[in-house]
Amino acid sequence: MPSSRRAATLPSRAAELSEAHAAWDGGEYGRVVKLRAAAKSDRREDRVAAAVLHARALLALDRQEQVAPVLQRASKEVKGAEETVLTQMLHGAALTLSGRYEQGEALLDETAALAKRTSPQLAAEIAYYRALSRWSSHRLPEAEEIVEAALPASRDVHRARLLQLLGWIDVRGENYSGAARQFTAALDELNRAKRPDAQGRARLL
């Protein structure tokens, strides 16, 4: 049984994680980083969830070079397929966004194969980062192929991001009318989504 002092800290730590999630939903990514850097938790799963949220916020802030140390600190506590897929995806995304395309894409492709077997609910988000890497390095047919393959099973904010990326593929290919259709579809998807995506919405408006 936990001591009275330790028991008293549990609600406050849970509240800290909840506050960080609320900051994420509101697009306050700097606040997420600040909260997670100072936070502690007694539960393993909360520490892993906090590291994942911290890494997501760093990516949103274009501070991808700081993602690997955050994930490394949590690596020994990661358990199960879903946590493994999440942390590998974020690490791979950080590598590609840092310009380390070959290494990052290899990790993302490996993670996509693992997700297909164990965590299909994460497949669309992994596809987004895989396609984004190809788009960033001007491999538009590859990027479009990945997005098109992922779209049928995608839902919610991840579907919106895939549609938005299709729009940017069209922009780069100078298909501006197609891009407008994809951006409109992405915004419609965000408006129907069960949870917010402040960063995705900001890129569309």
pLDDT of 37 > 70? The answer is no
Q: What is the pLDDT of residue 5?
A: 46
* pLDDT tens digits, one per residue of 133-168: 999 999 999 999 999 999 999 999 999 999 999 999
Model confidence band, residue 119 (pLDDT cutoffs 50, 70, 90): very high
Candidates 153, 178, 158; CA nearest to 166 is 178
Model confidence band, residue 4 (pLDDT cutoffs 50, 70, 90): very low
Candidates 131, 169, 173, 132; CA nearest to 149 is 131
CA distances (Å), origin 171, targets 62, 107, 146, 180, 183: 22, 28, 17, 9, 11
Candidates 65, 91, 66; CA nearest to 78 is 91
If you average pLDDT over residues 21-31, what whole number do you get?
94
pLDDT of 7 > 70? The answer is no
* pLDDT tens digits, one per residue of 160-191: 999 999 999 999 999 999 999 999 999 999 99
Output 71-77 pairs: Cβ under 8 A, ≥24 positions apart. 74/47, 74/48, 77/44, 77/47, 77/48
Candidates 116, 110, 114; CA nearest to 130 is 110
Candidates 52, 89, 45; CA nearest to 70 is 52
For residues 158 and 193, the answer to whether their CB atoms sit within 8 Å is no
CA–CA distance, 51 with 67 (Å, rounded to integer): 9
Model confidence band, residue 18 (pLDDT cutoffs 50, 70, 90): confident
* pLDDT tens digits, one per residue of 85-109: 999 999 999 999 999 999 999 999 9
Q: What is the pLDDT of residue 14?
A: 67
pTM of the model: 0.90
Determine what percent of the chain is predicted with pLDDT higher than 70. Answer: 92
